[in-house]
Each structure stands twice: as structure tokens, then as C-alpha cells.
């Protein structure tokens, strides 16, 4: 029999919390449950309670929890090779690169391990290829927590304790192309934008915004970076959100759902925008196991038509949410299964009520309920969630 290394499955919730408090840095404000297993859009806690998961690991589990294709891909790969250096070729990595290039309609891939690393790569690439230094980013943006990505992230609370950051960043209001035109100087290497702002409160730009920004960037020889870390892989009802706006960036970042739950990041770029030899590298980027997981996730999205499903279920979900009769709902917005419900109060109470009634929700920007379930969520599960929100 195989020895059970990861868990004796005897430890209760209280002991988990106690160990966490003693041994883990208390960085996170955790919800008071401990999750043990999951399948599709559902997760179970260590007490066996079931939840419909509208957080999905923050827009990570697009294909659902433990999708068989992801599980099988990881199982098959894990017994052949877990890791080798990028000093060598692997077949899984080139196969995934081919798929990502085709899906994103770009030319080249660089692999890394997270969203913030993808942003770092994009920023370094912008500097090294343009020989310019500065960036223009949007107010309410979120691009990650490492020093470079943090420099283009707007939120004061995240930035201030770590200053000085990269100083050559100008923030402009989101959805205002003129502001971008005015902010670009001869030193601007790139404009960096989320095609829909995620952490900033699910902010959808007007139809012509990204097109106008594209033109401004072309006119001024400035690169346009789209951060699709949260919006990618069917989340918004297209493979990538940029397709809604028919705009092609010069560099695109992806992560979150890229590995079907396995940690992974990547950028895709235009052919003429590339790192030279040794200009950037990653020990783990594009590891066999991560690439296998990602191939499994992409296969699942294709076979189950999850992009189309996201669009259809998203429309249904939004319609149901709009019909909720609550005085404190200001607006329901979003695309596909990336939905924000803005309240005129703090949403903590609703998140707590929902959890106690079997639904996991997440709050962003204090007053926006973020709904980003696995794309495999069913109509019945959506009805459950809407009922719970209505009662909350």
C-alpha cells in the first residue's frame, strides 16, 4: 500500500486554525472554514459541508475543481518528469506554446509561474525592446505584488509600505483614452491595462476605449500590454477578453486559470518583441508538470465548450442578479462569468451569510461582490447562489 504522506485526515478544523496561527505568517484574512476536496463547481470543508464555489480560487479553477483531464495530465506527467531545467527542450512545453500562440493570436511565448511574474516579464520586455523606461497604468489597476508589478498597481495600501517603487509610472483614470494620450511621453515604454479590471471592482470599459488606446500607442510608438491574468481562458465568454473589443496588444500576460489550478504564468508577444539570449529566465517556468496541467485544462475548455458556456451562463446569472430586489444593489456588471455586484454597503455580511448557507463569495474593492465561478457551473447552482444572495 502507498503511504499517505499529505494527510492523516484526522485533524479537526480547530487544530488547523491553531497550527496556522502558530506556524503560518498571518498575512491572509481567511474565511473560517478549511477546505478538503472538491469537484466541478463544488467544494467540501473538513466537516463535510458542501459549498457552491463562486470564488474558484479567484478566477483560477475555470474548468472546475479536479477536472479529470487536468488530473490525468498531471498523473501521466508526474511519473515521467516533474522538472527539468530550461537548459533542455521538452515536448509538453513546445506543444503548450503552440496552443497558446494559436489561442491568443500572438507569436511567441515566455513561461513563468504566476501572474505577477508575467507582469515582471512584460515590463522588462517593454524596457529592453523599446529602450524606453516609463509606464502608463490605470487607476484601480491590479497587476501583482512583486516590486515591478506593484509599481503599476494603483492601490495605496498595497504600495506605500514598500516605496520607493519604480518611479516612472503615471496613473490615469480607467476608460479615458485622452488621459492616456496626455500621459504618454518620449520616455514611455508601454501602456499596461486590464481589458476588464478585476480586483478594482469588475470595471468594464466602454466599447471603443481599448481601440482608441491601441491607436494612441501606434501613433506614439508605445507598446500596449494587456493583463489577461484574470480575464483569460473563457472567463469573460471569449478565450481572451481582448476579442470582445477586437484589439491586439503587443504583449499579453496570462496566469490564474492557465494551469487548470496548477501554478503557472506566461506572456505571449508579437514576433518582433522578444527577449534576447539570457535577457530573462525562470528556473521553473514552463515545467513539464505545469505544461501538462495546462494542456489538460485547455482540452477541457475545448471539449466542454466552456467559452460559449461562460457567455451563456454569465448572461443568465446577470439577468437573475438584476432581478434581485434589494435596496442596496447599485449595479450588476461584467462579461461572461466575471460578474460584479456593486452594493452601497460593505459586502462582508453577505459573504458571511452566503458561506453559512453553502455559497462561497468574494468581496473586492470593499463593496463589490465578485462572482467568478468555475465555467462548468450549472443553472441549478446559479439559482441556488442567486437565492442565497437575495436572502442575505
Q: How many C-beta atoms surround the C-beta of residue 250 within 10 A? A: 24
Q: How far is CA 339 from CA 59, 61, 370, in A?
A: 11, 15, 6
Which residue's CB is nearer to ligand PLP, number 230 or number 287? 230
* 195's grid cell: 481589458
- Please list every residue from 201 through 240 that binds ligand PLP, using CB under 6 A: 227, 229-230
Helical spans, DSSP H, in the chain: 13-23, 56-59, 68-78, 91-104, 115-130, 147-151, 156-159, 177-183, 209-220, 242-245, 288-303, 306-322, 348-356, 379-391
Give dist(CA 341, CA 348) in Å, integer.
13
Residue found by looking up cell 496556522 in the block:
20
Min dist CB 145 to ligand PLP, Å, is 6
Q: How many C-beta atoms surround the C-beta of residue 27 within 10 A? A: 6
Determine, following the binding rule CB under 6 A, whether residue 116 of this chain makes contact with ligand PLP: yes
Min dist CB 230 to ligand PLP, Å, is 3
Determine, following the binding rule CB under 6 A, whether residue 268 of this chain makes contact with ligand PLP: no
Which residue's CB is nearer to ligand PLP, number 38 or number 198? 198
Which residue's CB is nearer to ligand PLP, number 148 or number 388? 148
Min dist CB 105 to ligand PLP, Å, is 19
Min dist CB 117 to ligand PLP, Å, is 7
Which residue's CB is nearer to ligand PLP, number 42 or number 149? 149
Which residue's CB is nearer to ligand PLP, number 40 or number 144? 144
* 126's grid cell: 517593454
Looking at 113-121, 171-179, 351-359, 378-386, which segment touches ligand PLP (CB under 6 A)? 113-121
Determine, following the binding rule CB under 6 A, whether residue 336 of this chain makes contact with ligand PLP: no
* 64's grid cell: 472546475
The β-bridge partners of 192 are 137, 225
- Please list every residue from 19 through 38 that binds ligand PLP, using CB under 6 A: none
Chain centre to alpha carbon of residue 48: 28
- Figure out which of the listed residues 198, 234, 314, 340 binds ligand PLP, where binding follows CB under 6 A: 198
* 249's grid cell: 496588444
- Figure out which of the listed residues 110, 142, 209, 226 binds ligand PLP, where binding follows CB under 6 A: 142
Query: What does the binding site for ligand PLP look like in residue numbers (CB under 6 A)?
Result: 114-116, 119, 142-144, 194, 198-199, 227, 229-230, 255-256
Amino acid at each position: 500500500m502507498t503511504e499517505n504522506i499529505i494527510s492523516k485526515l484526522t485533524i479537526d478544523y480547530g487544530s488547523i486554525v491553531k497550527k496556522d496561527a502558530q506556524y503560518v505568517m498571518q498575512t491572509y484574512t481567511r474565511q473560517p472554514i478549511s477546505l478538503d476536496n472538491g469537484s466541478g463547481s463544488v467544494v467540501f470543508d473538513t466537516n463535510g459541508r458542501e459549498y457552491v464555489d463562486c470564488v474558484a480560487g479567484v478566477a483560477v479553477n475555470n474548468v472546475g475543481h479536479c477536472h479529470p483531464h487536468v488530473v490525468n495530465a498531471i498523473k501521466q506527467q508526474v511519473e515521467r518528469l516533474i522538472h527539468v531545467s530550461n537548459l533542455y527542450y521538452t515536448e509538453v512545453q513546445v506543444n503548450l506554446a503552440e496552443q497558446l500562440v494559436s489561442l491568443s493570436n500572438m507569436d511567441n511565448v515566455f513561461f513563468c509561474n504566476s501572474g505577477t511574474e508575467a507582469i515582471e516579464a512584460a515590463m522588462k520586455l517593454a524596457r529592453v525592446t523599446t529602450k524606453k523606461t516609463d509606464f502608463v497604468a490605470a487607476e484601480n489597476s491590479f497587476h501583482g505584488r512583486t516590486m515591478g508589478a506593484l509599481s503599476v498597481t494603483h492601490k495605496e495600501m498595497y504600495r506605500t509600505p514598500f516605496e520607493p517603487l519604480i518611479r516612472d509610472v503615471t496613473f490615469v483614470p480607467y476608460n479615458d483614452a485622452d488621459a492616456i494620450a496626455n500621459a504618454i511621453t518620449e520616455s514611455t515604454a508601454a501602456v499596461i491595462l486590464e481589458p476588464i479590471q478585476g480586483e478594482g471592482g469588475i470595471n468594464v470599459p466602454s466599447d471603443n476605449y481599448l481601440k482608441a488606446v491601441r491607436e494612441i500607442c501606434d501613433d506614439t510608438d508605445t507598446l500596449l500590454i494587456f493583463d489577461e491574468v484574470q480575464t483569460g481562458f473563457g472567463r469573460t465568454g471569449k478565450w481572451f477578453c481582448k476579442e470582445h473589443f477586437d484589439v491586439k496588444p503587443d504583449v499579453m500576460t496570462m496566469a490564474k486559470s492557465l494551469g487548470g489550478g496548477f501554478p503557472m504564468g506566461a506572456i505571449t508577444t508579437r514576433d518582433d518583441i522578444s527577449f534576447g539570449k539570457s535577457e530573462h529566465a525562470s528556473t521553473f517556468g514552463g515545467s513539464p508538470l505545469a505544461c501538462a496541467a495546462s494542456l489538460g485544462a485547455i482540452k477541457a475548455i475545448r471539449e466542454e465548450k466552456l467559452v460559449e458556456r461562460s457567455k451563456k451562463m454569465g448572461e443568465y446569472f446577470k439577468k437573475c442578479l438584476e432581478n434581485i430586489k434589494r435596496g442596496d444593489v447599485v449595479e450588476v456588471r461584467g462579461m461572461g462569468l466575471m460578474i460584479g455586484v456593486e452594493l452601497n454597503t460593505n459586502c462582508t455580511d453577505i459573504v458571511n451569510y452566503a458561506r453559512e448557507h453553502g455559497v462561497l463569495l468574494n468581496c473586492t474593492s470593499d463593496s463589490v461582490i465578485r462572482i467568478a465561478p468555475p465555467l462548468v457551473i450549472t443553472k441549478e447552482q446559479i439559482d441556488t447562489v442567486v437565492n442565497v444572495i437575495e436572502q442575505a
